[in-house]
A and B are shown apart, each in its own frame.
Chain A
Amino acid sequence: MENIFNIFIKSIFVDNMVFAYFFGMCSYIAVSKSVKTAMGLGVTVTFVMVTTVSLNWLLTRYLLNPGALAWMGGEFAAVDLSFLSFIVFIAVMASFVQIAEMAVEKFSPALYNSLGIFLPLIAVHCAIMGGSLFMQERAYENIGEAATFAFGSGIGWWLAIIMMAAIREKLKYSNIPRPLRGAGITFIITGLAGMAFMSFLGIQM
């Protein structure tokens, strides 16, 4: 239990997807113009993240790892399918994004319209792919840990995009040098926020 709590806090603050690894920057920069849209995207990303990473954990454990196919019988025990992990992960991701897209279209057409192209683009959202790959690299022991890690990372990304959207809403009223407006200043603010987040490094629960 303690371990799960530790993973949760760590994945939100210490290993924050945006500030520590820069995952999902494309949609982070492009969608963080208003808090409302950012909120919707954050929820969707968190949902897709938790479902995909959990499912990918199962796939890694029972299909992809060296010797993972032992449950099918002795002759499969030596098979190593780990080179297929990219293609399997991306397929799982793409299908869950499709489900999320249909759900958002049905229950919140306003959000669906404001997200536009960025909803299907979650399929190539680095944070989710990165989450799956980190899950594989760090070899979480059971599905609970993997799901907690995914949930924490999703929340971390969500908090980061809302924070940036709130700052950018205020930023409209300030006098920034013209070439720096938009993308440029967003990068620099994210960099400064990243430095602040580095102070979480080394926290042990």
Chain B
Amino acid sequence: MNREREPIFSAKNMRLLLGPLNRDNPVAVQILGICSVLAVTAKLRPAFVMAVSVVAVAALASLIMSALRKTIPSRIRIIVQLVVIAFLVIIVDQILKAYVYEVSKQLSVFVGLIITNCIIMGRVEAFALGNKPWPSLLDGLGNGLGYGVILIVVGFFRELLGAGELWGRQVIPDSFYEAGYMNNGLMLLPPMALIIVGVIIWIQRSFNKDVVDK
């Protein structure tokens, strides 16, 4: 038996990594992990930090659970998953507190809520428990990135239209304000995040006809 080894970046693996960015986007198509998308995106910087944290936790949780998948009895798998995820999130939380304390304060309880982010739990449950570590790592990474992209897009529009700033710097020139342009304060309030995500889903589904709900 001379089984040929699958190349590390085979077409199938690339699909695992890139699929979630568009066709299987965790936020827009699978409707997972919405809570934090809405709450941390009033500014671009916290949104970016949050995206990076979730990518790291999702990838590592998938990798670890996939490596452990044969040793865990299925009855207690939920609690094991939660412990692994909580462990990773505690590390992320401590790192954020140590290096970007300001952002960590802004994110407040939402770092802890990465534990209950359905994307991580959902991908571990749906994919990592049945697959080898390397594809699971890619799947976790891909889904984390798909989530991050939405987070950053929403954060971009909310900060740009709501405060006229990007990454804390003013980008809309003063001459606009003199000419009567006003920031839309509503963009900074929570409900607009929902509406922006709704519009993103609308646009995304107009291009991908096959994910439309019946």
Q: Identify the A interface with B (CB < 8 A).
A: 19-26, 29-30, 83-87, 89-91, 94, 120-121, 123-126, 128-130, 133-134, 137, 177-188, 190-192, 194-195, 198
A contact face: mostly helix, strand, loop, or mixed:
helix
Query: In the complex, what residues of B have CB within 8 A of residue A91's CB?
Result: 79, 82-83
Question: Which residues B71-124 have CB closer than 8 A to chain A?
Answer: 78-79, 82-83, 86-87, 89-90, 93-94, 108-109, 112-113, 115-118, 121
Query: In the complex, what residues of A have CB within 8 A of residue B33's CB?
Result: 26
Q: Identify the B interface with A (CB < 8 A).
A: 28, 31-36, 38-39, 78-79, 82-83, 86-87, 89-90, 93-94, 108-109, 112-113, 115-118, 121, 189-195, 197-199, 201-206, 209, 212-214
Q: Is the CB of B86 within 8 A of A86?
A: yes
In the A-B complex, list the 4 residue pairs whose CB atoms are closest, starting with the nearest: A182-B213, A187-B198, A191-B194, A194-B191
20 extra interface residue pairs, beta carbon distance < 8 Å, beyond A123-B82, A130-B35:
A22-B194, A25-B35, A26-B33, A26-B35, A26-B118, A86-B93, A87-B87, A90-B116, A124-B82, A130-B116, A177-B202, A179-B204, A181-B213, A181-B214, A182-B213, A184-B205, A187-B197, A190-B194, A191-B191, A191-B195
Query: In the complex, what residues of A have CB within 8 A of residue B190's CB?
Result: 19-22, 194
Query: In the complex, what residues of A have CB within 8 A of residue B35's CB?
Result: 21-26, 126, 130
